[in-house]
Every structure is written in C-alpha cells, then in structure tokens.
Structure 1
C-alpha cells in the first residue's frame, strides 16, 4: 500500500518539475487580481500616466519658424530644457529658498510637535481632549483659509503684530524681503504642527505603560522618562513626520501665492511650484513640466537621503 501511494505521488509531481498550481490556487489568484484591478487602473491613470506625460513634455519645446506667425511645432530638445531651467537664476534661487526654509522650519516644527505630544501624554496634564483638539485645529482649516488669515495678520497696514511692535518703538515689517522667509515659515509651523503632533502622540499611546511605571519606581524623573524611553520608542514616527515635512516643504505654494496679495515684493518665482505655475500662465508648458520634474527629483533625493542617513545611524526602522 505504501509503494502504491508513493507511486501515485510521483506521478502527481514528477521529479525535477515544479508542481502546477491547483485549480483553487488559480481561482484565488484571479480573485486577488480582480480586487487589485480597480486600484491599479486608478493608480496608473491618475498617478503614473501624469508623471510619464510630464517627463515626456519636459523633453520637448515649442518651436516657431519664420516670423512666428505660423503655428508652433513641438520639437524634441532632450535635456536642453533642464539646462535652461538650472541655468535660470530665478529658478535656482527658488530651490535654494525652499531648502533654507525647510532647513530651519522643519526641525523647529517637529521639535514643537514632539514637546506638545509629550505634554499631552503626561499623566499630570489636564483637559487633554481640549488641548488635543486645540493643537490640531489649525490643520483642520483649509490651507488657503489659514494663509488668508495670516496675510491679514502680517499686512503692513492691518497687522496687529506690527501695530503692537510700533507701540514698543520697534519698526517691524513682516512682509519685507528679509522677513518673508520667517513669515512663511511661521505660517507653515502654525498649520502643520498639530498634524505632526497627532502622529507622534499616537505613537506615544502605543508605548506600554509598564515601562514608565518601572522607570518611575527606579527613581527616574518625568523628563528622564520622556528623553530616555519615550523619544527613542517614537523614533519611527519622527522619521515619518520628517519625510512628510520635507516633501511638503518642497511643494510650498499656497502660502506665498496668498501672501503675494499683501506683499508685492514677493516674486512669482519665490518657490519652485510657484515658478512652474508662472510658466503655465506664460503658456510655456514644457518649462513648467521641466521645473516640476526637477522639483520631484529634489524631493525624492532629500527624503530618500534622509531615510538612508537615519538607517545608517540607527539601524533599520
């Protein structure tokens, strides 16, 4: 009987050949493909296709022959558009400006979000629900609405901040060339600190309470518990919020676009996205596509480089 069973098994799966998938496995594979098909279709149509078309447009430029009276034709230019964009001092300045704003604003914002999350997580904190809602409320407002509100708060003729500084003998102009960067950074911090705080606070809630209790019994203070136990354990959340903040800063548009109404000295190329939108208004779609691709590559390099740096210093997340 054993010999017959072994012979039957050998006939079902010959040596040296991979076993064929059963009818049930094929049916399960078709079911999985059927459920994934809507997502893959939408992802391709709404994400991959626009990216591919943008890259395609960045490799062409409009050419007008003769006196420019004939209809323009699209000709292949290779990397000429990229050389033109990177050679434009205004566009290079917008890239540098975004890097400077991010280098200062992102660490300060995440530090503030971490402190607020730790305060909410402390046992002695009262009215936690109220403060959690109050900290998150600025993010709940649409970004354009918040930018409009701040444009009134910093407008030279309307700003209560400027008026208060004037009564103190200080001549403060929050829309001057030297103050535009700090003003926009302040707007970003106000709008996004609560969002990042909520992510970090959620990570703090997942830490077992026994760890803090054991540290308290060993004589650790609340500050020591926060620094030596809580902060290391929410490190993945800090990395995540940092990556999100890097990408968001690279896409900075709403704040300078709204602030331009009260600060005419703010140029239309203040940020890369703003510069690309200005190129669209000038009907130079190829230049806008090129600048968008450059910005996407910059955001990818910065975020991926940050992840690699974190993994190299602290191991896998």
Structure 2
C-alpha cells in the first residue's frame, strides 16, 4: 500500500511585497532608458570629438626620425618629441603673424557685429517698431547661408570684373578701392562675418528683452524716462548676461576663422595660405603632410581659446561681484 502524495500549497505573497517587486522592476527599466537614449549622442561624441582630441594630443608629442637616406622600409620611425613641436609652432613667424591677423580680425568683427546685434534687438523691442516679424526674418536670414556660399557671393561683389557695385561706380566715373587688396582684405573678410553673424546674435539678445516685464517700462515712463533712458538703464543691464555669452562665442569664432579667407584666397593675392592660424594648421597637415606640428598648433589654438574665454568670464564676473558689493 503506497502513501498518497501530499501537495503543500505555496505560501501566498503579500500584496505589498508584489507591489514592491513590480515597482522595483519598473525602476530598473526606467533607470536604463535614459542611458539608451543618450547612447547615440555619446557614441558620436566619443568617435568624432573625444577620441580625435586625445589622438591629436598624443600626436603633438611625437615626430618622425629619418635614418639613412630616408629610402626603403623602416627608414622613417616615429619617436617621442616632447615639447619640440610646440616650441617650433610658437617660434614660427608665419604662425605668429597669422595669430596677429586673427586678433586684428576679431578687433574689427566683434565690436561691430555685437553693436549692430544689440542695436537691432533694441529697435525691434521698441514700442514704435513696425513689421517686426519681417524685420527679424530679414536680419536673421544671412545666418542661414553657409559661410562658404556667403564668401563666394561676397567675393563676386568684391571683384572688379564681376561686381555690379564696381560697374555702377564706373558708370558714375567713381573709382572704388579694391576690397581684396592686401591692405583692405581683412575688412572684407570681417564684413562677411558681420553680415552672417549679426542676425544670430540679435535673436539671442532679443529673446531676453521679450521676457522683461512690461511693468518696468510703464513705471519708467511714468517717472518721465525717455526711450533712450529705458534702453540704457533697463534693457541693456537686463540683457548683459546674454551679451557676455555672445561675446565669448564671438571671440571663439574669431580665433577659428577659416572658411571665409580660404574661400576668398583664389580670388586675390592678399590672402596667403597661412593667413589665419587654422589655415596654417591646414597647410601643415594636408599640404606638407606634417601632422605632428599641425597637431601641436591645433592644441595651442584650443588652449588660447580656452584661456581667453575663461579669463574674460572671470574678469566680467569679478567686476559684477565688485559692483554688487558696493
């Protein structure tokens, strides 16, 4: 006679514990999804930004040692160079001259571009402004044109043989100066940057102006303030953080100027292959096949951009703190 099999029922799981398990599962999945969504951007950043930067830093400390006559396999060996590439770049008169031209270009471009952007933003925010939508679009539209295309268009306007401006001046028996001459080419390049960048900076400055409460304007008007006083004493101080941000971005873009002079170079002899620091780096890397010196030059430009931007921000922050402490 066999004993019957007795099945012991499983102990029931309390409802609270089941809810905790489901909640923990949902928390696990919800914590995984953000990483899944940012994974493509992270991969692109690592592939096209972080890894190339690290490789450029590594290459900047290397150089090629040629043995024998430089012929045959094994005659060119990559060795450690230390700071020799950086010393060569900083002592190169062409690189120093290109840096001076970039600074002169920035001295012309940044004040004019930001001044026009601030002026347009204040005019559009004025109570007497008309056709604001069309004006914003017309001022911003040049920013949508790529730098290469705008450089080609302005290049045709600069050339005597193709420019309608020179043709009209010749009909009026007026001789206009050659904008692409060595003495004026810096202003010609700066004009392209001003034409293309004013609209973007205007939008950046115009946005915080629209966020200023209208009660401030009404109170200032009741106190007898004019439009000019409202602009200088209320609007400009309120948009000062945005103005500082646009200034920093403009300085960074100035040190990285490349497309405009590179596009205009075939049209004139006033632009050399090393007119700007990036053009000098491009020539070293892709014309002279010297990636080691080019990498060192690119690191120097990046460090100079960081130092100037960070130093300017510290200076502005220190002045703002001093004014608040008063």
TM range (shorter): 0.7 to 0.9
2:292 counterpart residue number: 286
TM-score by length of 2: 0.85
Residue correspondence of structure 1 range 1-317 to structure 2 within 5 A = 27=28, 30=32, 32-71=34-73, 72-163=76-167, 167=172, 169-170=174-175, 172-279=177-284, 280-315=286-321
1:115 CA drift (Å): 0.1
Could you report, residue by residue, the CA deviation over 1:231-256 in whole angstroms, capped at 9, with x for unpaired residues? 00001110111111111111101110
1:208 CA drift (Å): 1.1
Q: How many residues align?
A: 296
Instruction: For 1:56 and 1:315, locate their aligned partners in 2 and report how far apart those are by CA, in whole Å.
Output: 40
1:103 CA drift (Å): 1.9
Segments of 5+ residues of structure 2 without an aligned counterpart are 1-22
CA gap 1:242/1:34 in 2 versus in 1, 3 angstroms: same
Instruction: For 1:39 and 1:273, locate their aligned partners in 2 and report how far apart those are by CA, in whole Å.
Output: 27
Instruction: For 1:31 and 1:134, locate their aligned partners in 2 and report how far apart those are by CA, in whole Å.
Output: 42
Q: Is the 8 A contact 1:156 1:174 kept in 2?
A: no
Q: Secondary structure at the match of 2:78?
A: strand
Could you report, residue by residue, the CA deviation over 1:34-71 in whole angstroms, capped at 9, with x for unpaired residues? 54444433322221111101111111112221112134
Q: Give the root-mean-square deviation of aligned CA atoms.
A: 2.3
Q: Is the 8 A contact 2:185 2:270 kept in 1?
A: no
Q: Secondary structure at the match of 1:260?
A: helix
Instruction: For 1:219 and 1:168, locate their aligned partners in 2 and report how far apart those are by CA, in whole Å.
Output: 52
1:303 CA drift (Å): 1.0
Segments of 5+ residues of structure 1 without an aligned counterpart are 1-21
Larger Cα-atom Rg: 2
TM-score by length of 1: 0.87
Q: Is the 8 A contact 1:162 1:174 kept in 2?
A: no
Q: Is the 8 A contact 1:82 1:290 kept in 2?
A: yes
CA gap 1:121/1:169 in 2 versus in 1, 3 angstroms: same
Instruction: For 1:215 and 1:154, locate their aligned partners in 2 and report how far apart those are by CA, in whole Å.
Output: 47
Q: Is the 8 A contact 1:276 1:291 kept in 2?
A: yes
Instruction: For 1:171 and 1:124, locate their aligned partners in 2 and report how far apart those are by CA, in whole Å.
Output: 37
